[in-house]
Structure 1
């Protein structure tokens, strides 16, 4: 399988390094263009119709997100690259889009390309890219959406509808206010990172709770959530938990 690929970065050295790594480690990728001026990216991508685009986030004049926003229906798979931008990384992770942190590690590159190849075969780039742009422009965390891999594909759910996440034998059951739970093959640790925000609290090794849905703390070490659901608070977490909500 030959995957038409474009590299976008304002630094020629960064492009040269990435190009060399791809040629050595990712033989299925065919680099059809490299772009150092992000303002040219829209026309070149439309002309060459790549399946995969590597793009730097922080570029002068036009960020990687600015480039993406020019497309009404961006159907190419994306792997973002960044030196460090936690806000950007959080938004990218929430939508299951690939990313690499500079300097780019060889194993991380191969893993990102492997995931991108799978996504290209499943043809789900459009919905992920559309959701990313919506999240980037949405400052309120509760109004954002996250992607949850399920048996049927990818499900985008509103953060505010999640009451809590429950770790079950290496899987995670996500509970909602308005629908039946979803069972994800990802561990509770994955959702701890994905929902890393003050609105979510890791009350127990097996539970992450949306604090907006906590109704009551019970003296025996449990909290009641929306829907009259009760989950435990770990003994070691109780003092910290109570302090958090007393000062809220």
Structure 2
């Protein structure tokens, strides 16, 4: 059985690299197309009905999750591809849906494809996709809000408005876009657990940053974020942090 495959990634280079690896290591797959435009991809999927889709999560106009929600009966197998291994991975794992972390390793690719083919043969795709949509709820991760107890009551903060978080003597100061800050009675450990499935990284025992706002890394051990925020990266975290940055640019 030939498995018909479609690739969706807003970065043409990433899509080309993945296509090359699929041709080399997964000859049982037949690549029928690729797209950098999620809206165009939706129409292609509806018309051509591929068996398997490799789908980038973080795209500027529409996330991979939003794309899935465009289908009432998403009866195709999906392997999500993401640059951040802690970006909404838990929602995917709970449904036994495959995912790959960029740069895609040969062994991970072969294993994910093997599992996807088994799912296609057993016709498990529709139920898994519906469960994923249920797990994600009515909002995407970019639109989600967290509840932050403050001196003035409860603040409802959009996750993608958080630039960084700073632990201060058992409290946490949230630095938001536009120079806004909120002091929460929760400690930074609470927010580290809360934001574990989105694009945040704990650079230091007292600092968490939103990876979407990174501008540069300084050799002295500091990361520069948008709106002139400078945050230390502890010695214990530097190797992991630099490897993460490298993998995101490969």
Instruction: Please state which band the TM-score falls in when normalised by the shorter chain.
Output: 0.5 to 0.7
Aligned ranges 1:32-181 → 2 under 5 Å: 32-84=32-84, 86-137=86-137
CA positional deviation for 1:86 = 2.2
Q: Deviations over 1:109-155 (max 9, x none)?
A: 0000000000000001001000101101179xxxxxxxxxxxxxxxx
CA positional deviation for 1:39 = 1.3
TM-score by length of structure 2 reads 0.55
**Any unmatched runs of 5+ in structure 2?**
140-192, 195-250
Question: How many matched pairs?
Answer: 141
Change (3 A) 1:87 1:14: closer
1:202 counterpart residue number: none
Select the structure with the greater relative contact order (CA < 8 A; seq sep ≥ 6).
2
User: For residues 85 and 127 of structure 2, what CA distance do their matches in structure 1 show?
Assistant: 23
User: For residues 49 and 39 of structure 2, what CA distance do their matches in structure 1 show?
Assistant: 17
User: For residues 138 and 48 of structure 1, what CA distance do their matches in structure 2 show?
Assistant: 27
Which runs of 4 or more aligned residues in structure 1 lie more than 4 Å from their structure 2 counterparts after TM superposition?
A: none
3-state SS, counterpart of residue 6 of structure 2: strand
User: For residues 130 and 87 of structure 1, what CA distance do their matches in structure 2 show?
Assistant: 20
Check if 1:31 corresponds to 2:31: yes
User: For residues 9 and 87 of structure 1, what CA distance do their matches in structure 2 show?
Assistant: 16
1:19 counterpart residue number: 19
TM-score by length of structure 1 reads 0.55
Change (3 A) 1:109 1:85: closer
User: For residues 12 and 138 of structure 2, what CA distance do their matches in structure 1 show?
Assistant: 33
Q: Deviations over 1:46-97 (max 9, x none)?
A: 1111000000000001000011000000000000000115251000000000
3-state SS, counterpart of residue 86 of structure 1: coil
User: For residues 111 and 85 of structure 2, what CA distance do their matches in structure 1 show?
Assistant: 21
User: For residues 87 and 38 of structure 1, what CA distance do their matches in structure 2 show?
Assistant: 19
User: For residues 94 and 132 of structure 1, what CA distance do their matches in structure 2 show?
Assistant: 8
